[in-house]
Amino acid sequence: MPDISTLIFAKDGIPDLINLVKDVYPFSSEVVIVDSSTPTNKRQLLQQLDEQKLNRVRVFPVVALGHPEPYQMYGLDKCRAEWIFYIDTDEGICDAFKNDIHRIVKEADVDGFKVRKRELSGSGHRYFDSYQRRLYRKNAAIYSGLCFFDPEIRGTERKLSRNYYLNHRFDYYENLAKSTNRYFKIMAFESRITYGDMAKILNNKPILKRLFQLYVKINKINTEEELTPTDYKRILCTASYLTGDILYYIKRGQIPNLNFTIHNYFYLLREFNALSHYTPEARKEQLDITHEIKAEKGVINYLRVDEQKIDSWRQQYDRDDLDGTRLFITLITEEHRRRIQAKNISK
């Protein structure tokens, strides 16, 4: 039986986490959990795993940072098998995938697989499908730690058969975890873009790129300036996302899922409205941080997330009332200001 480490990043929700562990346990040589739960729930998790004799589960406690991505390479390093299966606590794996995963890995002629992910509402309504890198050789994967980014696979990869898939249930428009801008607050420090950045984003959309360049020329915009909140909505959301999403389906001979596309479009507009709440000074600092993170190829390198740093964060910050998103913003802002201070001293 090939060795497979199932990697899970968890925060609270202990009953769902235990159910997921039981589901993947039969085909996993080990289950590695990177746990950013509250200290109280960290203790409850260990107690339940012990009571249910789930001996092949290894838990690594970390402090909450609002999202799990900064810990991805840390979790990957803790896995001992050659192959990694990555799954989130709000996802489930279909029976066919569970039954055949060992054969898939044993016969693999690639270094990684893109797995179909079915996006469902809480009631089971199907929104759309996507493909994500969820099954791969450990030594072939590199994570950047940026929100919603798959690992880079060094080597070959292909899509797994549509018969093997994950189900992701989520109330996209009602769930408070998203509608309160938790991810947006984080991504404001990872994804701010200039007009020059926007031109690069539109490289694979020639018509939109030409129209955008004309817009910049007519308005005499410096490409080093950050998009204004209005242009975020007008260009990034409307031109890039809305038309791009519809064309994506048409190019593949599929009927666009207009209901989801339009709903998600208005969701994005609400998220980008949060831009107007930042002062010009804060926006400038966030843009500088974004460029520094890009230069370091991700948050993991930017914050130098290693075992020593994780232990230090746990000792300083791990408590039941911690706001992980606020801590993350504090950490990257302090790192940015530390770098400025170091530059000034060296001059």
78 neighbors 58 (Cβ within 8 angstroms): yes
Domain count, the chain: 1
With 0-12 CB in 10 A as exposed, 13-18 as middle and 19+ as buried, what is 59? Answer: middle
Query: What is the pLDDT, as a whole number, of residue 223?
Result: 95
The parent domain of residue 272 ranges over 189-277
Query: What is the pLDDT, as a whole number, of residue 175?
Result: 56
b vs e for 208-217, b when ≥16 Cβ sit within 10 Å of the residue's Cβ?
bbeebeebbe
pLDDT digits (tens, 9 = 90+) for 260-310: 778 778 777 877 777 677 888 998 999 999 999 999 999 999 999 999 999
Lowest pLDDT segment from 167-176, 210-219, 316-325: 167-176
Q: What angle do CA 23, 28, 29 make, to 5 degrees?
A: 150
Q: Is residue 173 part of a domain?
A: no
Does pLDDT of 116 surpass 70?
yes
Q: Is the pTM of this model over 0.75?
A: yes
Q: Is residue 164 part of a domain?
A: no
Q: Is residue 250 part of a domain?
A: yes
- The contacts of residue 161 (CB under 8 Å, 6+ apart) are none
Rounded to whole angstroms, what are the CA distances from 257 to 35, 52, 173, 272?
36, 43, 16, 22
Q: Confidence class of residue 212 from pLDDT cuts 50, 70 and 90? A: very high
Query: What is the pLDDT, as a whole number, of residue 73?
Result: 98
Q: Is residue 271 part of a domain?
A: yes
Q: Where are the alpha helices (DSSP H) in 152-242?
A: 176-179, 182-187, 195-201, 206-218, 229-231
Query: What is the pLDDT, as a whole number, of residue 188?
Result: 83
Higher-confidence position of 92 and 347: 92
- The contacts of residue 216 (CB under 8 Å, 6+ apart) are 195, 199, 223
Q: Is residue 300 part of a domain?
A: no
Helix (H) or strand (E) holding 100, with range, is helix 95-106
Residues counted in the chain = 347
Helix (H) or strand (E) holding 301, with range, is helix 299-303
Q: Is residue 273 part of a domain?
A: yes
Q: Is residue 303 part of a domain?
A: no
Q: Is residue 24 part of a domain?
A: no
